Amino acid sequence: MTHRCADITRETGETDVHIELDLDGTGDTDISTGIGFADHMLEAVATHGHFDLHLDCNGDLGIDDHHTVEDSSLALGRAVDEALSERAGIERFGHAYAPLDEALARVVVDLSNRPYAVTELGLERERLGELACENVPHVFRSFATEAGAAVHVDVLRGDNDHHRVEAAFKAFALALDRATRRTGSDDVPSTKGVL
């Protein structure tokens, strides 16, 4: 069975991102954004989503973390879109819950080619390491835009913002893994016949 792969480069005046993605991998990662907490979350997505992700981003971190987070997420979304091609023979929908100690997150994904993101994280801290908490919802919005996905992220409970965010990323990984699974059919999962 052919692996669904993508090799994406995104170069702007603010960042230079290169991604190699294999949706049918084993969770192998090599990630470097210059933002430790972002790397940790992307590693969690690949590990629990069971895909291989090699991502390197050189961004303007001397300004702040926004462009690096945004462009890495846009490139990841583009890579998923490219790897899925016409999106034939996939589950399309995926949902998952993931706990981390006291935190519980729910994520629902539709690979509908209709980008939309809703995030309810309930974060109180300003930063997690070098990652601004205001950029966490931006990860999901940027991914959804380029992946052509509807992504709904809700953290249902949790006292610790690190736990809340990590639970959200793990639930996202599980939901994305489910939505990208092959069904054994060659049909596009839509009443329209196209996504």
Q: Is the pLDDT of residue 48 over 90?
A: yes
* pLDDT for position 30: 98
**Confidence class for position 193, pLDDT limits 50, 70, 90:** confident
Share of the chain above pLDDT 90, in %: 95
Q: Is the pLDDT of residue 195 over 90?
A: no
* pLDDT for position 58: 98
CB 42 within 8 A of CB 80: no
* pLDDT for position 124: 98
- Mean pLDDT value across residues 171-187: 97
Alpha-carbon distances of 91 from 41, 67, 107, 151, 173, rounded to whole Å: 24, 32, 16, 15, 15
* pLDDT for position 117: 98
Sign of the four-CA dihedral 63, 7, 9, 119: negative
How does DSSP assign 138-176, residue by residue?
HHHHHHHHHHT-EEEEEEEE-S-HHHHHHHHHHHHHHHH
* pLDDT for position 165: 98
Count, residues in the chain: 195
How does pLDDT run across 162-171, given as a tens digit for each residue? Answer: 999 999 999 9
Q: Is the pLDDT of residue 83 over 90?
A: yes
CB 180 within 8 A of CB 111: yes
The two most distant CA atoms of the chain are separated, in Å, by: 48
- Mean pLDDT value across residues 74-100: 97
Q: Is the pLDDT of residue 88 over 90?
A: yes
How do the domains of the chain map onto residue ranges?
Answer: 5-180
How does DSSP assign the chain, residue by residue?
----EEEEEEE-SSEEEEEEEETTS-S-EEEE-S-HHHHHHHHHHHHHHT-EEEEEEEE-TTT-SHHHHHHHHHHHHHHHHHHHTT-TTB--EEEEEEEETTEEEEEEEE-SS--EEEEE-----SEETTEEGGGHHHHHHHHHHHHT-EEEEEEEE-S-HHHHHHHHHHHHHHHHHHHH-B-S--S-SSTTS--
| In the block, residue with structure tokens 């380029």 | 146
What pTM did the predictor assign? 0.97
CB 54 within 8 A of CB 31: yes
- Mean pLDDT value across residues 125-150: 98
How does pLDDT run across 22-39, given as a tens digit for each residue? Answer: 999 999 999 999 999 999
Q: What's the first-to-final CA gap in the chain, in angstroms?
A: 22
Please state the CATH superfamily assignment of the domain spanning residues 5-180 in this structure.
Imidazole glycerol phosphate dehydratase; domain 1 (3.30.230.40)
- Mean pLDDT value across residues 180-185: 96
* pLDDT for position 194: 86
Q: Is the pLDDT of residue 192 over 90?
A: no
* pLDDT for position 191: 85
